[in-house]
Amino acid sequence: MREFFRRKRRIVLVLVLLIGGGMSIMAYNEKDKYFEIAKNLDIFAAFYRELNTYYVDELPPEKVMRKGIDAMLEETDPYTDFIAEENLDELKFMATGKYGGVGVSVNTDSERTVITDVYEGGPMDKAGVKPGDIILSLDGKDIKGLDQEDISRLLKGAPGSSLDMVTKHPITGDQNNKKIIREEINVKAVSFSGMTSQDIGYIRMTQFTENSGERVQSAFTELKKQYPGMKGLILDLRGNPGGLLDEAVIVANIFVDKNKTIVSTKGKVKSWDREYKTESPAVDAHMPLVVLTNRSSASASEIVAGAIQDLDRGVIIGQRSFGKGLVQTTRPLPYNAKLKVTTAKYYTPSGRCIQAIDYSHRNSDGEVELTADSLRKSFNTVAGRKVRDGGGIEPDNAVDPTLLSQVAITLLRKQYIFDFATQYYYSHPKIAAASTFALSEEDFADFIKYLDGRNYNYKTRSEEALETFQATARKEKYYDAVAKEFEALQVKMKHDKKQDLLKNKTEIKRLLEEEIASRYYMQRGRIEKSLSSDNEVTTAIAVLHSPERYQQLLK
Each residue of 173-217: pLDDT tens digit? 999 999 999 999 998 999 999 999 899 999 999 999 999 999 999
pLDDT of residue 98: 87
Condensed to tens digits (0 to 9), the pLDDT of residues 327-343 reads 999 999 999 999 999 99
CA gap 513, 526 in Å, rounded: 8
Distance of alpha carbon 109 from alpha carbon 98, whole angstroms: 27
Segment 285-293 mean pLDDT: 98
The arithmetic mean of pLDDT across residues 147-160, rounded, is 92
pLDDT tops 80 at residue 460: no
Average predicted confidence (pLDDT) for the chain: 90
Q: Which residue among the candidates 310, 389, 396, 500 is catalytic per the annotation?
A: 310
Q: What pLDDT, on a 0 to 100 scale, did the predictor assign at position 21?
A: 47
Report whether pLDDT(367) > 50: yes
User: Mean of the pLDDT values across residues 301-312?
Assistant: 98
pLDDT for residue 7 is more than 60: no
Q: Please give the helix or strand (H or E) that residue 113 lies within, else none.
A: strand 113-118
| Global confidence as pTM | 0.86
> Which of 188, 260, 324, 529 is flagged as catalytic?
324
Please, what is the angle between helix 441-451 and helix 416-427, to 10°?
A: 130
- Transcribe 25-83 into DSSP letters: HHHHHHHHHHHHHHHHHHHHHHHHHHHHHH-SS---HHHHHHHHHHHHHTTS-TT-EEE
Among this protein's residues, is 310 annotated catalytic?
Answer: yes
List, in sequence order, every beta strand (DSSP E) within 169-254.
Answer: 175-181, 183-186, 190-195, 200-205, 232-236
Per annotation, catalytic residue among 212, 264, 299, 518: 299
- For 402-447, write each residue's pLDDT tens digit: 999 999 999 999 999 999 999 999 999 999 999 999 999 999 999 9
